[in-house]
Chains A and B, each alone.
Chain A
Amino acid sequence: MEADSLIQNPKKQRLNEEQGIDGNNKCFGNLPELILRHILSFLSIKTAVRTSVLSKRWQFLWTSNPYLNFGKHIPGKRTLLMNFVERVLYLRDSSDIKEFVLDFDVESDACRVKSWITAAVRRNVQTLSICLWGSRGQFSLPRCVFTCETLTSFYLDMRCILKVPPIICFSNLKVLIIENVAFSDDYTTQQLLSGLPVLETLYFENCTWGCHKVLSISAPKLHFLTIVEDDDMQNPSGCKFMIFGPSLKYFAYGGKFLNEYCLYDSLSLECLDFDVDCYDEWASDGWARQVAYRMFKVLIATPNVQDVRLYGNACEVLAYAAELLPKMPIFNNLSYLKLGSLKLQCAALWKILQNSPCLETLKFFLIEPISDREKADIILDPMPSCFLSHLKRIKVGSYDEENDLYVIKILLKNAIVLDKMVISFEENLEMQDAFYKQLMKLPRGSQNCKIVLK
């Protein structure tokens, strides 16, 4: 008797039981039910429902599909969509719904929409994505959403005042994305911001904060925070946010700093991303200085940052508060700097470069043109120390022959440990060749560096 046959039989039986294979299903065509349901879960709910006409066995297989994404609202098909959603919810079995995605024009059907959301919550939904509009004023989410303990991802886009109930429990919520919402004036807004114990990603876009003057966000596990503010928001005095994020790794802000953001406990922040657009008309109002002060506040709180991205005219804006430049922190860990545009004549950028002794990579999309007068403003002596010791890679997003050669010359001459400079140059091969030859003739501080044209 072979040794393995003793073990074989009980093992085989156990294997069969675990897989749930029907004893008589040796034929390929008859896949076990679990597998069929698994296949169906990859289909959109609309496609899955159609399988009910295949055979008796298939009639209700689709009803356990846990991913209910009803697709984008198509104009003219609103009633059909409503009926579809309701039929699916009625015919469904009682298995959990993992994902519920709705994109819908509410009109006067607020009650029905609320009942759909409630149904999803009651089926232990994990990912809830709701984009609603057209509710003419108030649409209030069902309260059970705010106490849904199975919810791990919540995406809400709704041009309404958000009514947060007094009791909330987001004990499993890891991702929260809110767009276009007007938070209410009362204490419930703060309660929401304080009730996110395991939140890792927080994203606010075009949200307004009512009359709140101060709010705090305290999320011990928060890694990623992004705030985008639209132009036409009306709160002249703004709201001051205190953000306690000991685990915060990434903070991105886009807008005009209509509100203020103070980071505490953020010495572990790795990446900072500012997209600030501040035009001349703001300078006269003194608003530009306010923006500069608010940007500075964040920079001072995050001296350990490793990766900084500055888009729009963030650098120029910083320069509006010239008196703060000498107080710019030293960024000992900053190794990666990405700019929308490189403006060497901007004092603030120069200060940042000087205060980043370990900068290794510098990337930028454009080069701001420099007038002859401005050329004198660039203080080449002393050169930022990173040019002498650390700056290895420079990547240029686009090149304009007329303006940019001057700046490229400065960089090539002074970055004496440069390994590689990559320039995106979208012209025909002939012009690329000519440009390359021109570049190779320029004096280079680093003899070994490569120049690559893309």
Chain B
Amino acid sequence: MANNGENPSPDVGGKTVKLKADDGEIFEVEEAVAMELQTVKSFFDDDGVSYDTVVPLLNVSSTALAKVIQYCRRAVELRAKSGDDEGANEKAREEREGLEAELVREESDEGIKELILAANYLNIKDMLSFLCRAVGDRIKNKSVEYVRRFFVLENDFSPEEEERTRNEVAWAFEGVDAD
């Protein structure tokens, strides 16, 4: 059971779950954190699956999984902090937003896409939402070429088709508002 330096041992006493990334690396995570990943939760919801079973996550790289786990850990902590007190709620929300911004800021375009795919596969709604919003922010005011490169898109329009499409939506390119 590999347990490398990147993944510190969880607190003694809590139940843990083992997650295996696509390269075989195993992450041991507290149960509460693991259940943030709906995919993992469904895995165990089935009858007869013991919590000792290693969950195979073949579509997630170890780098992505490490970041996902880190985010979910902090998210669970922050959620525990907020309660009925409005002030505490506000503070927890701000901290969470700061956490999200930090995660996104450091990522390359490839990194973000990888995280999106991971969050999608692992079915973590909140994480997927803020990642998608971050991508939206990144492409918001960029040129068509830039966005094509970002999504690794081949321009499969013929020159005539492209011309026609551009004309059809020319109205969207007119300065209707100041972006």
Contacts and interface: CB of A to CB of B under 8 A. Distances in A.
Interface of A: 3-4, 7-8, 11-12, 15, 18-19, 21, 27-32, 35-36, 38-43, 46-47, 49-59, 71-72, 74, 77, 80-81, 83-84, 87
B119 to A, nearest CB: 9
Contacts of A47: 140-141, 179
A104 B95 CA distance: 38
Contacts of B179: 46-47
Nearest to A18: B123
A75 to B, nearest CB: 12
B58 interface: yes
Contact of A55 (B54, B114, B132, B153): B153
Given A15-B39, A19-B121, A42-B132, A4 B171 contact: no
Contact of B117 (A31, A71, A74): A31
Contact of B171 (A54, A55, A57, A84): A84
Nearest to B177: A71
A50 B144 contact: yes
Nearest to A5: B56
Contact of A31 (B116, B148, B171, B178): B116
A444 to B, nearest CB: 28
B3 interface: no
Interface of B: 39, 42-43, 46, 49, 53-54, 56, 58-59, 110, 113-114, 116-117, 120-121, 123, 128-129, 132-133, 135-137, 139-141, 144, 147-148, 151-157, 162, 165-166, 168-169, 171-179
A12 B151 contact: no
Contacts of A55: 148, 153-157
Contacts of A46: 172, 176-177, 179
Question: Which of A3, A7, A11, A54 is packed against the most chain B CB atoms within 10 Å?
Answer: A54
A59 B165 contact: yes
A87 B129 CA distance: 28
A59 B121 CA distance: 26
Contact of A50 (B58, B133, B172): B172
28 contacts: A11-B46, A21-B121, A28-B117, A35-B120, A35-B132, A38-B129, A39-B132, A39-B136, A42-B135, A46-B176, A47-B140, A50-B172, A52-B165, A53-B166, A54-B151, A55-B153, A55-B156, A58-B153, A71-B176, A71-B177, A72-B177, A74-B177, A74-B178, A77-B176, A80-B174, A80-B176, A84-B171, A87-B171
A72 B179 CA distance: 12
A15 B60 CA distance: 13
Given A38-B132, A46-B176, A72-B177, A53 B144 contact: yes
A19 B120 contact: yes
A248 to B, nearest CB: 18
A16 to B, nearest CB: 8
Given A29-B113, A53-B144, A7 B53 contact: yes
A29 B151 contact: yes
Given A19-B123, A31-B151, A42-B133, A56 B156 contact: yes
Contacts of B113: 28-29, 31
A27 B135 CA distance: 17
B176 A74 contact: yes
Contact of B148 (A30, A32, A54): A54
Contacts of B54: 4
Contacts of A84: 171-172, 176
Nearest to A43: B136
B152 A28 contact: yes
Given A31-B116, A52-B169, 19 more contacts: A12-B58, A15-B39, A15-B42, A38-B129, A39-B136, A43-B136, A46-B172, A52-B168, A52-B172, A53-B144, A54-B151, A59-B165, A71-B177, A74-B176, A74-B177, A81-B176, A84-B171, A84-B172, A84-B176
Contacts of A32: 120
A11 B155 contact: no
A57 B120 CA distance: 20
A29 B39 contact: no
B132 A4 contact: no
Nearest to B155: A55
A46 B173 CA distance: 8
A30 B54 CA distance: 29
Contacts of B157: 53, 55-56
Nearest to B55: A4
Contacts of A3: 53
